[in-house]
């Protein structure tokens, strides 16, 4: 998720101060990815350094209003026009946890999966309960983010089913790996899977 471009897109509507940007971001995303104010101001300072925003007027409360520059507007248009590219490989903690667990002796992988499934189902239930109706633009934008998170949670549950099926095809002891006796070579690690 790009905080940088999201804040720029909000500023494209008009000048805002830091807390206002945070509030607007939360309002539009349903607080799915809460931002702290320090992150907002750090991002604004980098955007200013890059010539994409400028400090504007200061109100009677001392709020500094940030304004988008023409270069910032161009950046927003480019961001909105360009597809999001997913990263290569995975650093998904659950995938790594299960990949390691299946190779360890004495680990009840089925138990690990059951615990994850219970937590994933509870999360999916909470997400579905929190889903709001899509009556207006604010509710629609929130529901789009909520739907994305819900679909990801559903995909996780399907993936857990897939793992259980794959594991049922292999005896547990056949998957266990002993520590390698080969000493690794120094240098850069092999490239991640694409």
- What tokens appear for 107 in the block? 């680990």
Whether the CB-CB separation of 114 and 163 falls below 8 Å is answered with no
**Residue 77, pLDDT above cutoff 90:** yes
Q: Is residue 126's pLDDT more than 90?
A: no
- Between 176 and 100, the more confident residue is 100
Segment 92-100 shows an average pLDDT of: 82
Q: Any idea which architecture 3-81 has in CATH?
A: Orthogonal Bundle (1.10)
Q: What is the DSSP letter of 57?
A: E
Strand partners, 67: 54
Beta bridge partners of 16: 66
- On the question of pLDDT at 69 being above 70, the answer is yes
Report whether pLDDT(132) > 60. Answer: no
Return the pLDDT at 78. Answer: 92
- For the chain, give the mean pLDDT: 84
Whether the full predicted model's pTM is greater than 0.85, yes or no, is: no
Q: Which two tokens stand for residue 24?
A: 């607007």
Closest by Cα among 108, 88, 87, 85 to 98: 108
- Res 120: pLDDT: 92
Name the band, by pLDDT with cuts 50, 70 and 90, for residue 188.
low
Q: Which is more confident, 155 or 126?
A: 155
Q: Indicate the domain borders of the chain.
A: 3-81, 93-175
Do the Cβ atoms of 127 and 150 come closer than 8 Å? Answer: yes
Confidence of residue 186 (pLDDT cuts 50, 70, 90): confident
Mean pLDDT of 163-167: 89
pLDDT in tens, 47-58: 999 999 999 999
CA dist., res. 56 & res. 163, Å (int) = 54
């Amino acid at each position: 998720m790009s905080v940088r471009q999201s804040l720029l897109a909000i500023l494209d509507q008009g000048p805002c101060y830091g807390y206002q940007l945070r509030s607007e971001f939360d309002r539009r995303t349903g607080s799915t990815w809460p931002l702290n104010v320090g992150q907002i101001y750090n991002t604004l300072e980098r955007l200013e350094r890059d010539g994409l925003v400028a400090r504007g007027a200061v109100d009677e409360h001392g709020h500094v209003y940030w304004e988008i520059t023409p270069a910032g507007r161009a950046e927003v248009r480019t961001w909105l026009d360009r597809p999001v590219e997913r990263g290569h490989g995975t650093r998904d903690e659950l995938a790594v946890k299960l990949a390691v667990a299946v190779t360890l002796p004495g680990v009840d992988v089925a138990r690990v999966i059951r615990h994850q499934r219970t937590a994933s189902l509870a999360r999916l239930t909470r997400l579905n309960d929190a889903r709001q109706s899509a009556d207006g633009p604010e509710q629609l934008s929130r529901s789009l983010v909520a739907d994305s998170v819900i679909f990801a949670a559903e995909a996780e549950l399907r993936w857990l089913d897939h793992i259980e099926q794959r594991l049922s095809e292999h005896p547990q002891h056949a998957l266990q790996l002993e520590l390698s006796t080969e000493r690794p070579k120094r240098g850069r690690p092999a490239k991640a899977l694409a």
